[in-house]
Chain A
């Protein structure tokens, strides 16, 4: 008979066989047997966070920057409920997480025991799947399946709830089964016929646009390479969602900027006026489409996605290709290369007028802003940060709000997995713990959280984690003293009734940094900005950088919700021009 292991030992044997190097977690009564076992497994390092939500976001940052699943370990009851926000965030943004939670012993389940909650019930709608392990014999199989579910198809979070008595109970351990798939969900269903149809559409199009999303990033670095080859091969303009930034170089001429609510004028107008729209790994989110009835009204639409339920969910498409982005693009490239060489040149001729139109839109410089000598403009701060960090491999995380949009607009990404932001759920407080996770995955790289002062205070306690593990993360706070995006909506839509969006009694961020045992830097004048940023970059440890910016700055351009893409509100520069023509009124 083979050796018997305790449930806690089985947990670690599974993690070892799944090649897990880091766990983000927080101990508590119902996971103590697992924590007790930690000391016997030196290949796995535990990162102690300060709040379980932080563990979840740190694991997300780790996963998104490394391509490996993030592992979270929490206790029952409040431990599990605290991680729900992070699980939901990961579910919305398709991030692979495996969350292991302790549970009260099986005989106490249902008795309202101390720190008991219905964890699998609570997390059912925010995970791809979850399991309550009631028999230790099932544990190794369930854990291996958990990793498989989290990482295959459209990735996402899973949760395994393990009662305390199961952690003590003994059973055999079974290794993960290679390629033996139970109830397999097929992912690459596409046919050559569909590829041919796509190439036919490409060859006929005069006004095409490629719209890419997080699916390209999730498909791995090879998918980004394939995307670059594909886009250069056909010479089409390409725009990206918030999550897809970095898949295609942000400073490339074919890249027309981010699209959507705060996307560029050229990207949104191209979406509206195109005759062929190729969606690669994006999901027609409402921040992208604006008004559905008037979304890209005259285009043939193609959707490449691994998740069949994403197709026709919001926008009806003419050609759906269900498959992994990398696989699909490789097939398309192969097919195009087989065709006669005339294809590429005729394509360029056909789209030349379209490119002229895009250049006209581009000349609007929709991301432009009026810079100031007196106050630091937040856009300027992001631009300076970009200029001073672009020569090294930099990883950027963000919180949620205006600063996030400015980061997306003004920081140019050239590689995938360098941009970690909460898009779907829009979780304030995401960026700081995510930066912790990114720095764990990439200890020698520069990791910057472009933050807002309101967001970052939601998970500020994780600075303590950064200090404990000496993670030199840089928290670049664009401090405008407001919940800026809330303030912006109130200004534009609620008659400037700034109800509860101003933060009185903000902490002194420099002193706060010092209290955590790290460095604080404050900057108020535009003239000092560069030197202070350099000071931040040159400091070896974690830094909180309090960048005091203009509190009244708004994030433009902007499509007010419920409006189509061609009805954008542009920035202050444009308003002046438009007042003369009267066109500005129609835009607002």
Chain B
């Protein structure tokens, strides 16, 4: 590095390379993304959000909700689940005996305890998941053996991982989920729960609004700050507002008063309701 030009060249080449790799290449790969077709279906995903949801995203941005909430569920893997849907000629007791007879198979060796426990106290209700495995070959083999004796079963694909177990998502978030988000706010801290699927988890706008006004009224021990500035506490006029929040106990407003959400609050609730990452896609398959 004898001259200024050599430093310039070194910087130009290195930053240029990373610019091509991490700015240009993703923009070319994903910048022209369109709606996808749902796996094994004809519907497209994601749907264009409603006007209220689009405006609500701006309320989400202005109040920096993404500082505490992520919008990305993760999964650690997928498993195949064999679920019985019809026993054919078998009675539950005979079927149990048949399944136990399969325990000698070497490939099922590591599943015998789980299967045994799941069918021991089972009295025949359907559908009944009997085998959960990360190995698709074993699941197919099991399904074939059940089919051979006339027992009906189906194979479900399920995502796994702590986020899925917490109910934060049905599958992991993928690029397609953010097609219409502007700006995309993925978040990097989970001081609050993940919201990528809140529209499926809490479909009720009233409950979402109540949570925004007084988090403690919906979730005990919530550490979320209240967003009271998105609401108006006012005297009840000639008739109570149909939008008024249904608050009880220590969260209720003084008698003669009601808590009414502002338009911003309604937009925000509409946005939260629109967050539904619930479609199986080729890059994130699951059986709905």
Our verdict on whether A and B bind, yes or no, reads no
Interface residue ranges, B against A (CB under 8 Å): none
